Amino acid sequence: MAEMSPKARVRRAARSIARWGEDSRMMTKLPWREGRTPYKVFLAEFLLTRTRADVVARVFNAILIRYPDVTSLAEADVIELEQLLRPLGLSKRVRLLVSAARHIREFHSGEIPMDQHDLEAIPGVGPYVAAAVRAFAFGRSTLPADVNVLRFIARVTGLPMSHPTRGSRELMDLTSELALARPSPRAETLIDFCRVICRPRNPRCLICPAVKYCLWGTATTSADVHG
């Protein structure tokens, strides 16, 4: 399939991932996915910015019990919150998290906004977190593209990751093809796929549902077979 265009590769790979995600056994169980609310999603995505999901999951419920809503988080004692977040290595973002909660309380009456621009105006929130909140909290069809998704697209198409976390403009442009696939993967399916299969290190190409559309995967599995 060397003649396939990058757009076609991404769409076909996305369709395969969507079908893979239809099996509920593939979904990762995470505390912020249970009894989902916009606040829980926002808090989780803010904490996940620089920390793995399994690490955040260990302390998420304790944080939620202590700070169950935007108002309590806005009034948090910084030292106490820092102690709760210490296992995540996020001490530098504690004040930013409190500032984010205060911004939401002041400008949105304590409710997590739905608009992308309103979300990006919150301290510490960038385009990815805003898109993730829109997708997971409000059901918007946006597919958040973090470094893992960009790496997946780079592997599928053979295009380089010009920047280690931001990828390249060409890779970013190709993220729109994920949503154009029919069926297209849900945002959580794509994230779980990148966590479980298309991992940063030692990707599991031999069991990847999209391997036949992936330049990296076909090269890797061919080397394994003939090595």
H or E element at residue 140 = none
Where does 30-88 show beta strands of DSSP type E? none
Q: What are phi and psi of 169, to 5 degrees?
A: -60, -40
d(CA 76, CA 72): 6
* 45 flagged as catalytic: yes
d(CA 210, CA 14): 8
**Active-site residue, selected from the candidate residues 22, 45, 106, 177:** 45
Identify which of 104, 191, 99 has the alpha carbon closest to the alpha carbon of residue 144.
Answer: 191
Identify which of 25, 28, 24, 73 has the alpha carbon closest to the alpha carbon of residue 47.
Answer: 73
Amino acid in the structure at residue 55: V
Contacts of 195 (CB under 8 A, 6+ apart): 28, 53, 148
CA 164 to chain centre: 16
Contacts of 214 (CB under 8 A, 6+ apart): 9, 13, 155, 156, 205, 208
Contacts of 190 (CB under 8 A, 6+ apart): 14, 17, 21, 143, 149, 152, 178
> Active-site residue numbers?
45
